[in-house]
Every structure is written in structure tokens, then in C-alpha cells.
Amino acid sequence: MRILVTGGAGFIGSHIVAALLQHPDVSLVRVIDNLATGSLQNLEEFKDNARFEFFEADIRNYQSCLQACEGIDRITHQAALGSVPRSINDPLTTNEVNITGTLNIFTAAKEKGIKRIVYAASSSTYGDHPGLPKVEDKIGKPLSPYAVTKYVNELYAKVYGELYGLELIGLRYFNIFGPKQNPNGPYAAVIPLFAEAIINEEQPVINGDGEHSRDFTYVDNAVQANLLALFTEKEKAVNQIYNIACGEQTTLNQLFEGLRKEAGIQLQPAYGPERAGDVKHSLADISKAKEYLGYSVKVTISEGLQYTYRWYKAQRETGR
């Protein structure tokens, strides 16, 4: 099979590329990425692999999407502008990338006869629904422009599946973390920020009182879900949406404490104002992904925090 990975130079996308290049049934992995938030450094290890292709282009350009889809069998669509705060500050660009870009990929796939697309959805879609754990068919009102865009992706996927016979599988990620996640910039995720602060022995700032909780999920679990969704032959598994998480709640205070213990240093966080658009608590019910896809939690949060901290520390030591 020839697989297209949109956003393949990004954090999650590059991990998916690595797994696909090791898959015995994959003959080509093509990446389309405009490098706005992704990095060529994430693809460095693949550049001499004869089964790897890189196409620098923007999914907001429909012709580029058509080119990228040429000769492709299946797509894993990871390209997006993440971050709730970014979407609040710049809703127009978030909309263009996440809605127009996704619609371009879905339509190009239809035109090129590509039957299956696995796409990155988001736990932000649950919005203000108070229920815990989060179950796929119970959502609330979105709390940010980012959440709106990810919900619209799901709506388009449902329509394209029904109208054009495509097989679309949405993976609602819950706070994915791990190596290659960028700690720099104003919209960096919390775990790389904590890791960098601890390595530098600088006091990190926690938004709110630190009791916000999330279902933090190590990146290998998200990669596993993508491969299961790409290659499943179960008819009932397609045209579905799945929570991809660990099924565990961890507060920001617990998260920091886990990283601090791994580093073996005494350091206390500072506390700042809560972020606009943030959900207070999040926890996934992962039973549907287990039943339909055969998904399981391969790496726990405590193991993932160890691997992640050690990776950032090694990066620092090698000067990368």
C-alpha cells in the first residue's frame, strides 16, 4: 500500500511515518507538510529511505492536495493547526487550515479514488458536556474556534461517507505527548514546557490551580490507533469516531510531580491565571476503540513521562 501522511513533519505525524516505514504491507510513505509547525528535523532519519517521499506544500491549496493524493491508496490526515489559545488569537487561520484544508484532502481523496482516510479529531469536541468519562456520542457546545473546526471535520466526514462511499475514521486524541513535541513558541503543550523548565531548573507556570485534569496519552498509543484504523478489515469499524486515550485522569500538579521525580530535583511550580476556552476535566471512555479496532494502551502515562523526559534530556545533552 501507498500511504499519504498529511502533516507528517509534525510531532504525531512523524511518529506515524516511522511506524508505517516499518510496516511490511507499506511500499511508499508520502508526506505533505508546509512546515508551518512541523520540522524537517523530524523527518531527517527517513530521507535516505527509498520508500519515503516528502512534498512541501500547503493543504489549503487544493491542487497541491490533488498532487499529493496521486497514486495513493490510503491517507492518515494529521495536518492541522493545534492549540486552543492560538485559535482564540487567530481564528481565521485555524479555520482555513483545519476546515478548508481538511475539506481539500477529503475531496482530493474522492477525486483520486482513495477509499479510506483516517483523520485526527480532538477531545475538544466534547466542549461543555459535563459527563465523565467522555463517550463518543455525547458531546456539548464547543468552547473555542479550534473545537469548532475539529467538530466540523467530523460533520464533513459523516457527509462524505454517506454521499461518496468513502471510509472515514476519526480519532479523537486526548492530550497526546512524547518525543519530538516542540517545547518552543507561545503555543507549546504543557509536558514539553514542564520538561524544558525542569531540565533548566526554572520554575514553570501552571495555568490555574493545577487541579485541571486531562487524559494524557503517550504518542505510541496514537500511532497504534492510526495503524489499526488504516488497515482494519472490519466493516463496522469504518465511518466511526473513536476516543484515543489511556482512560486515566491526571492533574497538572500530578503531571509536574511525575516529571520532577524522574529528574530527581526539588522544584516548585508557579501558578498563573486560567486559560480562556479550557475545559476543567477530561477523561476518555476507550471501550469503543478497544471493541471495534482492537486498540489497547501499550504505554502508560508514567512510562510515557519517563520516556519523554529522558528524550528531552538527551536532546539537551547532544545540543539539538
Tell me which residues are annotated as active site.
Answer: 146
Which cell goes with 204?
Answer: 514553570
Which cell goes with 187?
Answer: 503555543
Mark out the alpha helices in 188-281 (DSSP H runs).
Answer: 190-199, 219-231, 252-263
Which cell goes with 200?
Answer: 533548566
- Residue 179, preceding peptide bond in cis (omega within 30° of 0): no
Q: Judge contact between 87 and 146, C-beta under 8 A.
A: yes
Which cell goes with 16?
Answer: 506515524
Let me know if 188 is exposed, middle or buried by CB neighbors in 10 A (0-12, 13-18, 19+): middle
E-only strand ranges, 145-237: 167-173, 176-177, 205-207, 213-214, 217-218
Cβ-count burial 275-296 (b if 16+ within 10 Å, e if not)? eebbbeebbbbbebbeebbebe
Q: How many residues does the chain have?
A: 320
What number of H helices and E strands is found in the chain? 11, 13
Which cell goes with 38?
Answer: 512541523
What 3-state class would DSSP assign to 119?
Answer: strand
- Number of CB atoms found within 10 A of residue 136's CB: 20
Mark out the alpha helices in 165-217 (DSSP H runs).
Answer: 190-199
